[in-house]
Structure 1
Amino acid sequence: MKRTLIRGLLNVLPMALSLWLFWSLFASLDELGNLMLSLIGQHKWFTGAGFVLVVLLVFIAGLLFSVSPIAWLWSWIERQLMRFPLFKSVYGSIRDIASLMNRDPSKPKHQQTVLVKQANGGFVVGFIMTETAPQPLLDALPEGDWVPVLFQLSYQMAGITSLVKRTDLIFVDWSFEEAMRFNLTAGISTSADVSATK
């Protein structure tokens, strides 16, 4: 009885939460679009009209940013706003996350799963996110081939970036997505996949 309930929970809960998350996003964007329609004196046309309007406006913005004067103007506005420290921190973080979603699939991916040995003999799963560390850090470190390695914290998007010598890394033939899922759930996702197949 208990195992059946857990099996049902493990299969239904992720789907329910995912659908709820996407529905909440859809409803929020639809409400935003309807608010913009009301500002120009238009009433709600149909359910989803606001969402369609927001998607259309984002598409038009994408077209405009391909025009050099618009891109230059936006870049200038960004530079002016970046003078404010609080805005710089918040906007910079959001922009970096957005840029991760806009990776060019034709370009080689730098993310590599690695193992790093600890003082107690254990190993920690980490990720090489880029092949080169910033020059100020390289100038401050002893001579060697140093690589930035991200150690993801379980159950949160935060992590710790550590500089590790390349010779101290064990490269693992494991996809970034699967290894990230393993780290984020502390290995539970792998256990859930195995138990669901039994």
Structure 2
Amino acid sequence: MKTTLTRGLMNVLPMALSLWLFWSLFVSLDELGVLLLELVGLPKLFVGEGFLLVIALVFSAGLLFSVSPIQWIWGKVERALMRFPLFKSVYGSIRDIASLMNRDGKPKDQQVVLVKQANGGYVVGFIMTDKAPEPVSQALGDGDWVPVLFQLSYQMAGVTTLVKREDLIKVDWSFEEAMRFNLTAGLSKS
């Protein structure tokens, strides 16, 4: 009975939590949109109109940010707010995560690599960019150093280590599969 219950949980729980998360996001955005409609005195006509309004506003913002004067004004506001340390930390983190979703023409495939450890074992890592920042390269001196991310299991955090390119073993493995392997400590089989 315990095995059957566990099998049921392992299959139903991920789907249920994913659906709940997306439904909660939809409801929250819909409520925000309805609030905006109420602020301008418009009545609620149908379920989901607030969500559609928020999506339309985000799309409109995307169009506006393709215009140089708007980008310039936004840059000024952004730089002014970055003077506040707490805001800078929170906003910078959220902006960095959001930028991962849209790489604008940059390659989306990070190279999966193995790095040999002192004990003879190997760690799965990801080359996130082709070269280390200039100040770091200068400080390290000789060698072609690249930043390699070692993802920590069950966390959205990792450790970035600078490794000589010659010490890397490239692996023909998709980023998604390798990331799933690292995030689940090798437990995920799909």
Which range, TM-score by smaller chain? over 0.9
CA distance in 2, matches of 1:160, 1:138: 18
Higher RCO structure (Cα 8 Å, ≥6 apart): 1
Give the superposition deviation at 1:48.
1.0
CA RMSD of aligned residues (A): 1.5
Query: Corresponding residue for 2:155?
Result: 156
TM-score normalised according to structure 2 size = 0.93
* Alignment deviations for residues 156-193 of structure 1 (CA, whole Å, 9 cap, x no partner): 10111110111111111001111111111111112xx4
8 A contact 2:113–2:127 mirrored in 1:
yes
CA distance in 2, matches of 1:90, 1:47: 33
8 A contact 2:31–2:51 mirrored in 1:
yes
Q: Give the match's secondary structure for 1:188.
A: coil
CA distance in 2, matches of 1:93, 1:139: 27
CA distance in 1, matches of 2:164, 2:109: 17
Query: Corresponding residue for 1:31?
Result: 31
CA distance in 2, matches of 1:117, 1:42: 63
5+ residue gaps, structure 2, are none
Task: Count residues in correspondence.
Answer: 190
Give the superposition deviation at 1:107.
4.2
TM-score normalised according to structure 1 size = 0.90
CA distance in 2, matches of 1:116, 1:19: 38
8 A contact 2:33–2:54 mirrored in 1:
yes
CA distance in 2, matches of 1:82, 1:139: 28
Give the superposition deviation at 1:42.
2.5
Query: Corresponding residue for 1:12?
Result: 12
Query: Corresponding residue for 1:196?
Result: none
8 A contact 2:116–2:122 mirrored in 1:
yes
Amino acid at match of 2:136: L
CA distance in 2, matches of 1:63, 1:109: 24
The question of 1:172 aligning with 2:171 is answered yes
5+ residue gaps, structure 1, are 194-198
CA distance in 2, matches of 1:128, 1:110: 9
Change in CA separation of 1:189 and 1:134 when aligned onto 2, cut-off 3 Å: same
8 A contact 2:113–2:170 mirrored in 1:
yes
